[in-house]
Chains A and B, each alone.
Chain A
Amino acid sequence: MTVVAAQFQPGTFVDAIRFIVDNFGMLFHLAVEQLELSFAAIGIALVIALPLGLWLGHKHRGLFFASSVANVGRALPSIVLIAFGVVFFGIGFWNNTAALVVLAIPPILTNAYFAIDSVDPDLVEAARGVGMTERQVVTQVELPVGLPLVIAGIRIATIFVIATATIASIAGGGGLGDVIVNQASYGLSGVVGASLYVSFLAFGAAALLGLLQRAVSPRPIPQD
């Protein structure tokens, strides 16, 4: 490994900012690449996990399944998933996408399950009482009420996926990780600059989803 042993170098952060400014085009290109990979993975994970979580939550079935998925998902280290992805799919787009999808499913599935499962039963009963079909109960009552928690799950999945997509560059995933793992070419200032960049990216995505979560959360009812 070509790593320069570094002592305390506060100047590195100044150099890192300079690196970001000087290499704006390249970093932007890599950021787009990383976001493409991340969104593809989150999109696929949503298609798989969201309907399953909502359905299980609606039926109040699969509590053990939902919590097991969460526990096992948390125990799977991202590098292990990426390495397994390389073994099973070889180097390319799919090894990393598969690893990221596996990583994104647990928080989305578990939160969707608990979001719907915990909706007030009286509310659901009332919805059925006014003649709503099961489908309407899910889409017009349970989903709106559980939406903040569902989005919280998507937010956690997004944080995981962007973080792991950074690591995915060791398996040909591209993105800003290409700079972070290549100190030989970009120097410590490049590594730190790309790390700052990817941190802003992750923070931005998390903040957006946090705002969305807040926007769909019910306002507290005024006391008077």
Chain B
Amino acid sequence: MIVAAGPVIPNFGQGTSCEVNNGTFCVSWVEEHWHDTLWPALVQHIELALIAVAIGFVISFLLALAGLRYRLIDAPIGYWADFLYTIPSLALFQLLVPITGLTTLTVEIALVSYTLLVLYRNMVEGLRAVPPDVLEAARGAGFTRTQTFLQVELPLATPTIMAGVRIATVSTISIATVAAFVLPKGLGYPLFNALREDTFKTEIFAAGALAVALALAADGLLHLLERALTPWARRVRRA
């Protein structure tokens, strides 16, 4: 719970006058606590998000292959992913606590659950959008089924799949801040502490800015990766 008003004294009165008076942004605090607070939180945050997106990607990919092959299960998978997506993040973390405890596993299960909807949908849509003529041509050229998938379908679906990966990654980085409710990890943790310590502004702005910057940086990097994976897309555009 947060109690507003009254003098703000983080660090029990230690620190610079800016820190003691809870100034808008105290560079001194950031310098002092970069190594023991902000940097570890940032690294943990990247780990949480990376693991979640990687596992989410593998699960969604397998589900997409199954959904494309057996049309009957496509809709149920979609509904299930959509159902998971509607559960409020804080509630999902807490609902898993009786099963997996206050662990990283709890956080990862929840984070993976939220990636499924966008990853699954984009994979299925991307792979389904490959024109039948193209598949016909590949078969005519003597491609096996596996070759067709790896060398024709997958590359053509890459832009749609990567769009899903970008959205899933940015959302996961965002939701991972909520993990601080069940696990003292990630950028949500310093934010959380700052809110409880009479709203210590510097820590809120520093950790908040890092979280947003991380999401935008990840989005930019994935955009570059997408361009590297689909060089033909640029060539066509230039022509």
A interface with B by C-beta (< 8 Å): 3, 5-10, 12-13, 71-72, 74-80, 83-84, 86-87, 90-91, 159, 162-164, 166-167, 170-172, 177, 180-181, 188, 191-192, 194-196, 198-199, 202-203, 206
Min distance, Cβ B190 to any Cβ of chain A, angstroms: 10
- The answer to whether B204 and A83 touch across the interface, beta carbons within 8 angstroms, is yes
Residues of chain B in range 198-225 having any CB-CB distance to chain A below 8 Å: 199, 201, 204-205, 207-208, 211-212, 215-216, 219
- Interface residue from B90, B101, B194 paired with A177 (Cβ < 8 Å): B90
Determine whether B97 belongs to the interface, using a CB cutoff of 8 Å to chain A.
yes
Q: Give B179's nearest chain A residue, CB to CB.
A: A79
- Number of B interface residues at 8 Å Cβ cutoff, please give it: 50
- The answer to whether B83 and A6 touch across the interface, beta carbons within 8 angstroms, is no
10 A-B pairs in the complex with CB atoms less than 8 angstroms apart: A75-B173, A77-B215, A80-B207, A84-B205, A86-B195, A87-B205, A195-B90, A198-B90, A199-B88, A206-B86
The CA of A10 and the CA of B98, in the complex, are separated in Å by 7
Min distance, Cβ A83 to any Cβ of chain B, angstroms: 5
The CA of A14 and the CA of B92, in the complex, are separated in Å by 17
- The answer to whether A192 and B211 touch across the interface, beta carbons within 8 angstroms, is no
Determine whether B102 belongs to the interface, using a CB cutoff of 8 Å to chain A.
yes
Min distance, Cβ A119 to any Cβ of chain B, angstroms: 21
Contacts of A9 in B (CB 8 A): 98
- The answer to whether B83 and A203 touch across the interface, beta carbons within 8 angstroms, is yes
The CA of A7 and the CA of B83, in the complex, are separated in Å by 26
- Interface residue from A75, A163, A166, A198 paired with B170 (Cβ < 8 Å): A75
The CA of A76 and the CA of B167, in the complex, are separated in Å by 13
- The answer to whether B188 and A75 touch across the interface, beta carbons within 8 angstroms, is no
- The answer to whether A180 and B188 touch across the interface, beta carbons within 8 angstroms, is no
Min distance, Cβ A216 to any Cβ of chain B, angstroms: 18
- The answer to whether A78 and B177 touch across the interface, beta carbons within 8 angstroms, is yes
The CA of A72 and the CA of B87, in the complex, are separated in Å by 23
- The answer to whether A6 and B101 touch across the interface, beta carbons within 8 angstroms, is yes
The CA of A172 and the CA of B55, in the complex, are separated in Å by 35
- The answer to whether A159 and B201 touch across the interface, beta carbons within 8 angstroms, is no
Min distance, Cβ B117 to any Cβ of chain A, angstroms: 10
Determine whether B175 belongs to the interface, using a CB cutoff of 8 Å to chain A.
yes
Contacts of A172 in B (CB 8 A): 2
- The answer to whether B191 and A198 touch across the interface, beta carbons within 8 angstroms, is no
Min distance, Cβ A172 to any Cβ of chain B, angstroms: 7
Min distance, Cβ A194 to any Cβ of chain B, angstroms: 8
Min distance, Cβ B110 to any Cβ of chain A, angstroms: 11
A163/B90 contact (C-beta < 8 A), A79-B180, A91-B4 known: yes
Contacts of B192 in A (CB 8 A): 79, 170
The CA of A10 and the CA of B82, in the complex, are separated in Å by 25
* Additional A-B contacts beyond A6-B102, A76-B212, A180-B94 (10; CB < 8 A): A9-B98, A79-B191, A80-B211, A86-B2, A167-B90, A167-B178, A188-B97, A192-B94, A194-B91, A195-B90
